[in-house]
Amino acid sequence: MNSLAFADVRREGRDDVHYRARAFGPDAKLHTFLIVNISSHGLMARCDACFDVGDRVRIQMPVVGAMVAEVRWALGGRLGAEFETPMDLASYYELIAAMMRAK
């Protein structure tokens, strides 16, 4: 019997940002996310709230505005989410620049 392990397969690399963002969960309650890393397809964030795989969250970010994402995994105050619609690269680079300026 083969042992299955979690494989971290992503389409692209992530950029480390450490950016605080407002987010709304499926219950429409306001949460604060600390976005730890991001790509044009998704992000990893820390949050005090518990989310389930499949939950949809709306995250308010600079430049691109509100992005809807689906929680792909959640563990110990962290979550990974995939954007419903990936960002175009020009907007993504502007977003990263804005997040870095906000540090």
Residue 3 scores a pLDDT above 80: no
- pLDDT for res 13: 87
Domains of the chain: 15-101 (2.40.10.220)
CB 69 within 8 A of CB 59: yes
Contacts of 88 (CB under 8 A, 6+ apart): 40
Q: Which two tokens stand for residue 73?
A: 């995994």
Q: Which two tokens stand for residue 69?
A: 């994402």
Q: What percent of the chain has pLDDT over 70?
A: 88
Q: Which two tokens stand for residue 92?
A: 């993504």
**pLDDT classification of 11: cutoffs 50, 70, 90:** low
d(CA 96, CA 103): 11
pLDDT digits (tens, 9 = 90+) for 54-81: 999 999 999 999 999 999 999 999 999 9
Helix (H, G, I), strand (E, B) or coil at 4: coil
